[in-house]
Structure 1
Amino acid sequence: MSDDKKPSRPAGKPGFRGNKKFGGKPAPRRPGLPPEGPVLLYGLHTVEAAFANKDRKRLKLFATDNAVRRLEERGVKIDVPVESMMPRALDRMVTKDAVHQGMILEADPLPAYGAEHLKGARLVLALDQVTDPHNVGAILRSAVALDADAVVTTERHAPEEGSVLAKSASGALDMIKHVRVKNMARFIAEMKDEGFSCIALDSDGPASLEETPFSDRTVLVLGSEGKGVRQGVREACGLTARLDMPGEIRSLNVSNAAVLSLYVARMKMGL
């Protein structure tokens, strides 16, 4: 959104883009797609990562004096205007119980990354209609920790790039390519044409993930809890595998399954 089209801010609430129809809260946006206007990123790790990301256009920092000093002590170059605010004023800019740690960064959404940004990738994690922003945020964080090249979600039935996703990712949203695709099955077919092995995780898979053959370029596909990977996406992958659990509980939360899957993949691929 260009500067001359940005909505005016209510007096006394810097950075808060209210909407009377929704009781003063920002209007909901279509899930899965980048927001149309600025987003508010909060928390130390999230804000620090946003300042380190060359692809993130930063607009303004709202922060306490202590928070500014803390960022500077960590080597963050603050390259936007800073508005000094008290903690209670910051509280009013975010949702209840949001842990902003004295800093809120107003920034534009990240660019809309697509499959064309995966050239040179070796390990990609795709999420088929995983909708919970806390789960997707945790998965982004794990993907960075295990050095995956990208996380792919669908445009619909996936969380938008907003404050909750960014905070749950604890900085990872600005540290890994988050690719959005219109059609997951078509994306899988395109990746196979590029030489990737595509493996869908399924509790009824014919072999464990450890027993499944990997190539040196792999896409792992996880589905939503309950429904799992959709049939059309499984068929596009061609390969399905299961995660065998030795204990009495046989299934994992999708974010935990992502960690284990990425770890096994790295071992199998020699990364």
Structure 2
Amino acid sequence: MAGNQGRRGAVRKPTTKKGARVGTGGHGRKALEGRGPTPKAEDRTYHPAHKRKVAREKRAEQDAAIARARAKTSIRLPEGHELIAGRNPVAEAVRAEVPVERVFVIGNIADDRVEEVVRAAARTGAPVVEVTRRDLDVASDGAAHQGVAIEVPAYQYAQVEDLIADSMQQIGAPLLVALDQVTDPHNLGAVLRSSGAFGADGVIIPERRSAGVTTAAWKVSAGAAARVPVARATNLVRALQECKQAGFFVVGLDGGSDVPIRGLGLAAEPLVIVTGAEGTGLSRLVRETCDQVVSIPISSRVESLNAAVATGIALYEVVSVRAGSQRAAAE
């Protein structure tokens, strides 16, 4: 056409020509390949399971180190025997005539309680063994042993029926404490100490899911474990029912109750105070067995009290109400 002879049509440049090229078969292959199997959760450093794995490995290393240290220590206890450490717990145990197998003491300790323990061992023929501080550190699992410890047979628990019968023979209204799933031996030791301070006749604990009277409990109890009997129940609910059949009222402590413990109406009666674990509280069946469930009013800024503190407050309130009733009767 006239005037268009100089215009070229659409022409594909050689360098932009589409089509197969040599060596293009592998393009994108890597994008299609998988990344392999997904690593386990505990192998991913950002995952909580990895932190738990690291914590388990650390605990295993610590346990192995403790086992190696125990293998080297001169204090080796026969199976079933336990160690009571600390000057007050040891002295209280000796005064309560707990059988003493051996006395372990660091040399050059000037203390009346230690001398009392050594004299008692001499009377009964129990050997007194001089050890190093490291030996006691290892044998007592790092507890504050204060340079003295005694080896005793395993704690002898009372029978529930015997504890009930003995408490009913005491002067005044009997008072027992029961712990529901309290697994911390320090809490048990503190409960024993409060029970001894406020005149409770004994403590009932379940055989399973509960702390026992161990070295830690002895230490925290400050010797009260030698004076306050502890009974182990195969079934705590059944034990509480036995208490009710014997004439006890069962009062449970639970933060969710709307009934405050102040001025407890049942305080003057034969009483069992039941405390649950911090956080979980009383189990359902134990709660249903209680004649009354009460709470201790606390600030809203604090979620709950631990078992030992709650039990101590409850025992103080019961003793206060009983003392007031006695004063009123005397007048």
TM bucket normalised to smaller: 0.7 to 0.9
Structure 2 CA distance for partners of 1:253 and 1:69, relative to 1, 3 Å = closer
Q: Distance in 2 between matches of 1:226 and 1:156?
A: 18
What displacement does 1:124 show? 0.7
Per the alignment, residue 269 of structure 1 pairs with 322
User: Is 1:94 aligned with 2:140?
Assistant: yes
User: Is 1:38 aligned with 2:81?
Assistant: yes
Structure 2 CA distance for partners of 1:11 and 1:262, relative to 1, 3 Å = closer
User: Is 1:60 aligned with 2:60?
Assistant: no
In structure 2, give the amino acid aligned to 1:261. Answer: A
RMSD of Structure 2 on Structure 1 (CA): 2.3
- Aligned counterpart for 1:227 among listed residues 271, 274, 280: 280
User: Is 1:163 aligned with 2:215?
Assistant: yes
Per the alignment, residue 112 of structure 2 pairs with 70
Q: Distance in 2 between matches of 1:224 and 1:65?
A: 41
Structure 2 CA distance for partners of 1:67 and 1:161, relative to 1, 3 Å = farther
In structure 1, give the amino acid aligned to 2:281. Answer: G
Q: Distance in 2 between matches of 1:53 and 1:263?
A: 25
TM-score, length basis structure 2: 0.67
User: Is 1:201 aligned with 2:244?
Assistant: no
In structure 1, give the amino acid aligned to 2:76. Answer: F
Per the alignment, residue 118 of structure 1 pairs with 164
Asked which structure has the greater RCO (Cα within 8 Å, sep 6+), the reply is: 1
Per the alignment, residue 84 of structure 1 pairs with 130
Q: Distance in 2 between matches of 1:161 and 1:248?
A: 33
User: Is 1:148 aligned with 2:194?
Assistant: no
Structure 2 CA distance for partners of 1:139 and 1:225, relative to 1, 3 Å = same
Q: Distance in 2 between matches of 1:175 and 1:227?
A: 30
Q: What are structure 2's unaligned runs of at least 5 residues?
A: 1-69, 168-173, 327-331
User: Is 1:259 aligned with 2:304?
Assistant: no
Is residue 15–residue 106 contact of structure 1 (8 Å, CA) maintained in 2? no
Indicate the percent of aligned positions where both proteins have the same amino acid: 29
Q: What SS does the corresponding residue of 1:166 show, helix, strand or coil?
A: helix
Figure out how many residues of one structure are paired with residues of the other and give that number. Answer: 243
Please identify, of 201-210 and 137-146, the stretch whose mean Cα deviation from structure 2 is larger.
201-210
Q: Distance in 2 between matches of 1:108 and 1:98?
A: 19
Q: Which has the larger Rg?
A: 2
What displacement does 1:182 show? 1.0
Q: Distance in 2 between matches of 1:173 and 1:70?
A: 21
Q: Distance in 1 between matches of 2:305 and 2:270?
A: 25
Per the alignment, residue 239 of structure 1 pairs with 292
Q: What SS does the corresponding residue of 1:65 show, helix, strand or coil?
A: coil
Q: Which has the higher strand share?
A: 1
Q: Distance in 2 between matches of 1:104 and 1:11?
A: 19
Per the alignment, residue 133 of structure 1 pairs with 185
What displacement does 1:37 show? 0.9
Q: What are structure 1's unaligned runs of at least 5 residues?
A: 1-9, 19-35
Q: Distance in 1 between matches of 2:217 and 2:272?
A: 22
Q: Deviations over 1:166-193 (max 9, x none)?
A: 1122212112111111111111111011
Is residue 61–residue 104 contact of structure 1 (8 Å, CA) maintained in 2? yes
- Aligned counterpart for 1:176 among listed residues 225, 228, 241: 228
Question: Which segments of structure 1 move beyond 4 Å, counting only runs of 4 or more?
Answer: 72-76
User: Is 1:15 aligned with 2:75?
Assistant: yes
Is residue 189–residue 237 contact of structure 1 (8 Å, CA) maintained in 2? no
Is residue 75–residue 135 contact of structure 2 (8 Å, CA) maintained in 1? no
Q: Distance in 2 between matches of 1:201 and 1:189?
A: 17
Structure 2 CA distance for partners of 1:131 and 1:12, relative to 1, 3 Å = closer
Q: Distance in 1 between matches of 2:217 and 2:271?
A: 25
Q: Deviations over 1:114-138 (max 9, x none)?
A: 1122324211111001001111111
What displacement does 1:205 show? 2.1
Q: Distance in 2 between matches of 1:245 and 1:127?
A: 21
Is residue 60–residue 81 contact of structure 1 (8 Å, CA) maintained in 2? yes
Structure 2 CA distance for partners of 1:11 and 1:135, relative to 1, 3 Å = closer
